[in-house]
């Protein structure tokens, strides 16, 4: 929900619990025009900033970003 609000132009958002069920590690895939012309580190910073409150309770987070083809 948070990612949809922060990235309304996203064409795809996928969040996967990779913790084995405890909800402490996630893998996030986001495809959005918002990332165009930005370096990967900048894209990941945008996602981290969007999830700043949620990240506090996570053990780990894998982020994959891309722009629509």
48: Cα within 13 Å, side-chain hemisphere: 9
pTM (two decimals): 0.87
Rounded to whole angstroms, the Cα distance separating 45 from 57 reads 18
Q: Show me where the domains of the chain are located.
A: 1-66
Label residue 63 by pLDDT band (50, 70, 90): very high
Q: Is residue 13 classed exposed, middle or buried when 0-12, 13-18 and 19+ CB atoms within 10 A define those classes?
A: middle
| CATH number given to 1-66 | 3.30.300.90
Label residue 49 by pLDDT band (50, 70, 90): very high
Please state the rounded mean pLDDT for residues 47-61.
Answer: 92
């Amino acid at each position: 929900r948070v990612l949809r609000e922060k990235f309304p132009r996203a064409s795809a958002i996928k969040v996967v619990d990779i913790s084995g069920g405890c909800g402490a590690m996630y893998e996030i895939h986001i495809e959005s025009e918002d990332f165009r012309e930005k370096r990967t580190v900048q894209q990941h910073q945008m996602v981290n900033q969007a999830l700043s409150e949620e990240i506090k309770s996570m053990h780990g987070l894998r982020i994959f970003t891309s722009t629509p083809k």
